[in-house]
Chains A and B, each alone.
Chain A
Amino acid sequence: MSTYYASLLAESGILLLGALSVYIILATGQLSLGNGAFMGIGAYLSSYLTVALNVPLTLALVISAIAAGIIGAIVAFPALRLKGIYLAMATVGFGEMVRSFFLNFDAMGGSGGYRGMQHISVGYVWLWAGGVLIAVMLLERSRVWLEMQAVHDDETAAGLIGLNTTVTKIVAFGVGAAVAAISGGLFAHHNVYIEPANFGFDRSIEFVLAVILGGSTVGPGSLVGSLLLVFLPEFLRPIADWRLAAFGTLLIVVLLVRRQGILDRSLIRTLTFRRAAA
């Protein structure tokens, strides 16, 4: 595979993880527009571990994920009392605060960025991306996921069938943050250079775009969305300057015409049924 396509593939794997991070949190009815911040935390922390402390990459990723997960859970706690748009605004604010923090964090380069990471292969990226995707798909068939859905559909009713909605929401936030951190760590080591601008509002929006376009009710939807966002511009070469506008338009069209996104449960059933019949 040419290096160009390999790097596109890696990019989509990294985006897949970011999209999944939003998806997991969205499954409990919380829209986070600040996951770029958790990606940044994962990127900076894992880079520091591998570059300054010579920690092996896989371990560094795990540590960063756990750290981000804890931060995510802590952030989620006060966020519990915010709903819908107010929560979204708070996550935007959080994202900006983290970006601002890294801009001032001169120990790791500040606005000048940080480098020195070892380059990783696209294969390694997809080991993580594919692994997390499979884990999410398994999780979607579990009791825990049903509980998350219940909280998403009707938080009050969920509480009244005995679900501790607080714990559900916080854990989802933490896990989402952890997944975003892995995305960040992989990004850092694939790009071998990171700077705060990589992890701002634009990045958070990119994640949300991938989920909403690809399919916001099923895990593989994030896969569709990330492949779409990375590879569609290849087919749109002639209008390359307008690819962002194209995605903006796609977002509006999806919301108007097929709100759940491209992939949903019934489409999956149709596709798999056909395959079984053939």
Chain B
Amino acid sequence: MLIQQLVNGLTLGAVYTLLALSFSLVMGILGILNLAIAELFMIGGYLGFTLIQAGFPLPVAVLGGMTGAAMIAIVIEKIGYQPLRDAPLVTPMLSTLGFSIILQNVATNIWGSDPAQLPDEYFGKQYTLGPVNIGEMQLIVLIATVVLVALVAFIVQKTPMGRALRAVAENREVARILGVSADRLTMLAFILSGSLAGVAGVLIALHYGTITPYLGVEIGLKAIAVMVIGGTRQIWGALVAGPLIGIAEVLTVAYGGSQVRDFVVYGFMILILLLRPQGLLGGARSDQGQRV
């Protein structure tokens, strides 16, 4: 039983990790919280859903969700971030809030506010490994998460593009002097995080088999908590904190009642903000260390 809970928790954690990573990419490089990522996640999910229901295979659905989210991310960057990039950080954050409100309204109008359901046959097979039942979709989510995180880590650590991203994260001015185009990289960060959120949305929507326009807010806010807990500027933070919180949440529901879980998750986030603001995996408090 416990192991089953752990597996479920890991799956939930995988969602959190992907979404927290999306938030963290923008936060680490630009210092702002892109609240619209939560809605990109939700819209990605709807796009994927629609594609699956129209008969397209899984990879197409994932691609569709990812592309749709990335395109919206581009719009947000051009209109909501670029003109405001020199304003105090709260201002672009509020701008992304505006986009978030718009996107949720759009989704509600296009797809309705009642949960959309996927018929059972899409749920796929159940595999049994010892005492544990694991669904096909669950497996896909877990594997996809590992692959995506590894991909992002590789991009950020090993490619010239990633180095440039980190340079901009450290110091915009210096990066510019060194010939790095901060604007283009900002766009890149938005596209990367938007795509990630979109893919996460597709995977989760298909895993749970249901989606509502409020998915973004429900899971998004918690993903922010996960980002804070893991460390806003560390990729690895999201990787560790995601499963941690996912499991904690599932266990709380199993043994404490489903209503308390939010209390626990956010309580933990606030504790971290107060006692160890750099997050579990952050470096020493005064040492900014690697941002992405």
How far is B97's CA from A81's CA once the two chains are assembled, in angstroms?
24
A253 to chain B, nearest CB (A): 8
A-B contact pairs, 24 of them (CB 8 A): A81-B277, A84-B88, A84-B89, A86-B273, A88-B33, A93-B225, A93-B267, A93-B269, A93-B270, A100-B259, A100-B261, A100-B262, A100-B263, A101-B263, A104-B263, A205-B101, A208-B94, A247-B101, A248-B99, A251-B101, A255-B91, A256-B83, A256-B95, A259-B91
Residues of A within 8 A of B109 (CB): 241-242
Q: How far is the CB of A41 from chain B (nearest CB, A)?
A: 15
Q: Classify the secondary structure of B's interface with A.
A: helix
Q: Is B90 close to A, CB under 8 A?
A: yes
Give Cα distance in the complex from A97 to B106, angstroms.
28
A111 adjacent to chain B (CB < 8 Å): yes
Q: Could you tell me if A97 and B94 are in contact, using CB atoms closer than 8 angstroms?
A: no
B185 within 8 A of A: no
Chain A's nearest CB lies how many Å from the CB of B35?
A: 10
A197 to chain B, nearest CB (A): 11
The answer to the question of B129 belonging to the interface, with a C-beta cut-off of 8 Å to chain A, is no
- Interface membership of B189, Cβ < 8 A: no
B88 / chain A contacts, CB cutoff of 8 Å? 84
Q: Is the CB of A255 within 8 A of B84?
A: yes
Q: Is B8 an interface residue (CB 8 A)?
A: no
Q: Is A166 an interface residue (CB 8 A)?
A: no
- Interface centre among A111, A243, A251, by most B CB within 10 Å? A251
Interface of A is mostly: helix
Q: Which residue of B lies closest to A33 (CB)?
A: B97
A212 within 8 A of partner (CB): yes
10 A-B pairs closest in CB distance: A248-B101, A251-B98, A248-B102, A100-B262, A245-B105, A244-B105, A252-B98, A93-B266, A100-B263, A248-B98
B17 proximal to A (CB < 8 A)? no
A78 close to chain B: CB less than 8 A:
yes
Cα of A96 to Cα of B260 in the assembled complex, Å: 11
Interface residues of A (CB under 8 A from B): 31, 78, 81-82, 84-86, 88-90, 92-94, 96-97, 99-101, 103-104, 110-111, 201, 205, 208, 212, 241-245, 247-252, 255-256, 259
A-contacting residues of B (Cβ < 8 Å)? Answer: 27, 31-33, 79-80, 83-84, 87-91, 93-95, 97-102, 104-106, 108-109, 217, 221, 224-225, 228, 257, 259-263, 266-267, 269-270, 273-274, 277
- For residue A101, give the distance in angstroms from its CB to the closest CB of chain B: 6
Q: A252-B79, A259-B91 are in contact. Are A104 and B101 (CB under 8 A)?
A: no
Which chain A residues border B90 with CB–CB below 8 Å?
A: 31, 84-85, 88
Q: Contact check, B89 vs A96: say whether CB atoms are below 8 A apart.
A: no
A79 CB, min distance to chain B CBs, angstroms: 8
Structural contact, B274 and A78, CB atoms closer than 8 A: yes
Q: Nearest Cβ distance between residue A151 and chain B, in whole angstroms? A: 15
Q: How far is the CB of B38 from chain A (nearest CB, A)?
A: 11
In the assembled complex, which residues on chain B have CB atoms less than 8 Å from the CB atom of A86?
Answer: 228, 273, 277
| B277 adjacent to A82 (CB under 8 Å) | yes
- Report chain B residues within 8 Å CB of A244: 101-102, 104-105
